[in-house]
A and B are shown apart, each in its own frame.
Chain A
Amino acid sequence: MKKEIDRKLLTTLKAQDPRALESAIDRYSPYVAGVLRKVLGTLGTREDLEELASDVFVALWRGAETLREDSDLKLWLGVVARNRALKHLRGLRLELPLDEDILPGGEESPGRFWERREEAQAVRDAVLQLDAQDQEIFLRHYFWRHGVRQIALELDMKESTVKSRLKRGRDKLRTILKKED
């Protein structure tokens, strides 16, 4: 049912029907706000949230033409929202620096890298091999860009523990990815 609704929404969005955009906002703006809030934490005001959410829907309106009708609309909006929020943080010079780079072979071009689907699968497998808590910490840091202090506070842990668990995750990921190479 949800997929059917999304398909109809996308069809009418492609036809540039403003009512479809309004429906998309009505349906997905709380989710988009959730993703924005997850990245921004307490840094964004309500106005920031509304502004960034509207940017996401502007992107949807402008990009609808390129979307396939069976696209996962929610995921698409989530990706755009996350990127928009990270860009906003960069603009404020508030993006938290990551502890250290992970991937081996840093000279490899992004395009070539991404084309290797098996490597993406290896990353997923590697992260999934971490124990549940290491996984949670890893994704909070590298996916949501939460700082060590924030993670420590939210998970009620010592900062040193978070750091050592991140290091363990990085080491494991490196080992696995080197093997893949």
Chain B
Amino acid sequence: MRDLDRLLTNTFPEELKKVPPALVDKKAVAAKTFEKLGLEQPAKHPRPQGEWVSPTPYRRRPWAVLAACLMLAVLAGVGITLRPMLTPNAHQEPLPAGTYLECAVAKVSFDQEQWAVVLDLEAKTDLDLDHPDAPTGYDLTAYVSRTTSSTRSSLAGLNQEALTHWTETGEDTYRCENITLEIDPVFQAQNQLMGEQDLNLELFAYFGEKNAIGTRENYLMAETPFTVDLPSPLDAFAPSTATYFDLSVSDATFDQPNGTIVLTLEAKTDMELDNETAQLLFYSWFYSLYLGKDSTQDVDLGDYAGADLDSLTQWTQTGEETYRSAPVTIPIPSDFLEQSGLKGTTSGSLHLTVSIWTKVEIDPVQFFSTADFTVELPGAEENHGNQTAAGLLKGDDLATYEKSYGQPWDTAVQELGLSENQVTPCPEAGLWETGEQRSIADQEFEWFLLSDVTTDELYGYWYRYQGTEETQILQTADRILSEAQESYGEPTTYPGSLNRLSALDEDTWNHAVEKGQIQDWYEEWSIGENTRCTLTLTVMDNDTACVLIEYRLAS
């Protein structure tokens, strides 16, 4: 396994690098490290003693003194030559360095509205904290943490910006008020951070010139404990009581490359589905998926609880008490569809249970819902692989037609599975009626064959739909046009053509129908190996209209 260790370590560095930081006492790590190495630690920090820490004299490091002297010398030199060019406020005077810092929490409360601890801090220091340049001349940061028996965890959410506003209240004594520490109710509940809590605040004050990487080398630190009474978020954030949950599936697809069914759910409910806190603290989800042709032959794929619960917690409100889920991705074992014989259009049902745990001591409120759907599964090529969804030719069907081009009439008819008696000539020379139909765009199109009158060879096919419902015929042509563009690509029609079908609008169509004169619009595509496909919409002079799809040997 050592080989695999090394392989994984070296080939998945991102696994290591994406690990989030954990709270650790840096001072303790540094002290242990230097102790193990037998080295003297470069800087010692003041330690807290009771509520107020003892002042610890600040010691400037010798190299820093040297650097400062050098810097002053350079500044002095530059200043002599550049002084006339400098405006009076061109650079900020260095703020006084500090030698001690003490800190105490003077006041603490909890603001229910902001769901935040509000602190007033008092500091004793020889840093000039209320100097007008203090916000940019010093860097103050603070951390609040909680220590339990074995771990110490920081609480994020302290408003660091508030630490730039200090007011002098006495000699070397300052006060900073209304520092908020926002509490994440989810973190609070998960970590049982409720009731009277003993917390710890560390205040760091960095001063002096910034180094090359933009930080200040010199700092003072003070630490102070404080106690706060934290209310329970389970009461404050409990969602309102829910009374109903109706589920439907608005979209169901099969993602073939990933072998997953992807469902988009719609819910009508008085639950607060888009309330993130409610989702994380109070709602839990469980689902099962069934696939089968009918309810008596359902195949239980087993439950997938946990496989994709995240998406069941992500809902967007789309209307009053109406929500849409993020796509719910359900993996389907690769061999399952084969073994179960499921393919093509398949019905399914999703059984979803949502539990609402607003009162943990009693049974949850639960809704059990079922949503039916149909999904197009792979493996039905014999039905759909050789035609588009609307029924246009593609794949093997198109290849078969192309093979028949140029064949003697009798052979072609035979190979198409037609009998000679079945095929009858039309008044137009070279056009033959087969008596067969093909469903295209939900309409039954008549199938015709085209033969060369001079060679008696087959060279193409027609599919024709004719009727008196002009609006419906226009809609049929529109649908076929869209489908053809999707399946065959952009038309190859001569761009300057005046009667392109894609440019036809409803007004022009209605006007042409009213006039009752023969007029047509068309688009062409080059498809397959050597086929030209032409879609034509025609207004006839006998109060009818027709859609004609022609597949023929490309000249």
Contacts and interface: CB of A to CB of B under 8 A. Distances in A.
B4 A102 contact: yes
B503 interface: no
A74 B17 contact: yes
A120 B28 contact: no
B33 A54 contact: yes
A79 B9 contact: yes
Given A8-B212, A123-B11, A103 B3 contact: yes
B12 A33 contact: no
Interface in B1-45: 1-4, 6-13, 15-17, 19-26, 28-30, 32-34, 36-37, 39-43
Contacts of B11: 120-121, 123-124, 127
Pick from B3, B212, B213 the residue with the most CB of A within 10 Å. Answer: B3
B307 interface: yes
Interface in A39-94: 45-46, 49-51, 53-55, 57-58, 61, 72, 74-75, 78-79, 82
Which of the listed residues B17, B19, B32, B305 has the most CB atoms from chain A within 10 Å of its own CB?
A: B19
Contact of B10 (A5, A45, A53, A120): A120
A113 B43 CA distance: 46
Contacts of B9: 79, 82, 143
Contacts of B40: 18
For chain A, give the interface size range. Answer: 35 or more
A34 B212 contact: no
A78 B11 CA distance: 14
Given A102-B4, A143-B12, A157 B307 contact: yes
Contacts of B309: 156
B40 to A, nearest CB: 7
B258 A131 contact: yes
Interface string B440-476: 0000000000000000000000000000000000000
A25 B23 CA distance: 13
B35 to A, nearest CB: 8
Please report whether the interface of chain A is mostly helix, strand, loop or mixed according to DSSP: helix
Contact of B150 (A1, A46, A78): A46
B213 A5 contact: yes
Contacts of A156: 305-306, 309
A22 B43 contact: yes
Contacts of B21: 30-31, 33-34
Nearest to A77: B16
B306 A34 contact: no
B23 A33 contact: yes
Contacts of B4: 102-103, 123, 142
Contact of A78 (B6, B17, B29, B37): B17
B296 interface: no
Contact of B24 (A53, A108, A124): A53
Contacts of A82: 9, 16
A129 B346 CA distance: 28
Contact of A46 (B10, B17, B25): B25
A98 B305 CA distance: 25
Instruction: Determine the interface band of chain B, counting residues with CB < 8 A from chain A.
Output: 35 or more
Interface string B212-228: 11000000000000000
A36 interface: yes
A127 B16 contact: no
Contact of A29 (B3, B7, B26): B26
A133 B307 contact: yes
Contact of A31 (B13, B19, B36): B19
B151 interface: yes
Given A35-B19, A142-B4, A61 B13 contact: no
Contacts of B22: 30, 33-34, 36-37, 49
A45 B39 CA distance: 26
A126 B383 CA distance: 35
Contact of A133 (B32, B43, B331): B331
A155 interface: yes
B16 A110 contact: no
Contacts of B33: 21, 25, 54, 57-58, 61
B86 to A, nearest CB: 29
A175 to B, nearest CB: 14
Given A98-B1, A110-B3, A50 B36 contact: no
B66 to A, nearest CB: 14
B29 A57 contact: yes
Contacts of A121: 11
A123 B5 CA distance: 11
Interface string B179-209: 0000000000000000000000000000000
B152 interface: yes
B43 to A, nearest CB: 7
A101 interface: yes
Contact of A34 (B6, B8, B20, B25): B20
B152 A18 contact: no
Interface of B: 1-4, 6-13, 15-17, 19-26, 28-30, 32-34, 36-37, 39-43, 150-152, 212-213, 258-259, 305-307, 309, 331
Given A8-B213, A144-B15, 17 more contacts: A8-B212, A18-B39, A19-B42, A21-B34, A21-B37, A25-B29, A29-B30, A35-B19, A46-B25, A54-B30, A58-B37, A75-B17, A102-B1, A114-B10, A123-B4, A123-B7, A156-B309
27 contacts: A4-B213, A5-B213, A18-B34, A21-B34, A25-B29, A25-B33, A29-B24, A29-B29, A30-B21, A34-B20, A34-B21, A35-B19, A46-B151, A49-B24, A50-B29, A53-B24, A61-B33, A75-B13, A79-B16, A102-B1, A119-B7, A121-B11, A123-B11, A127-B8, A131-B258, A139-B15, A156-B306
A-B complex: 4 closest residue pairs judged by Cβ atoms: A30-B21, A156-B306, A54-B32, A78-B16
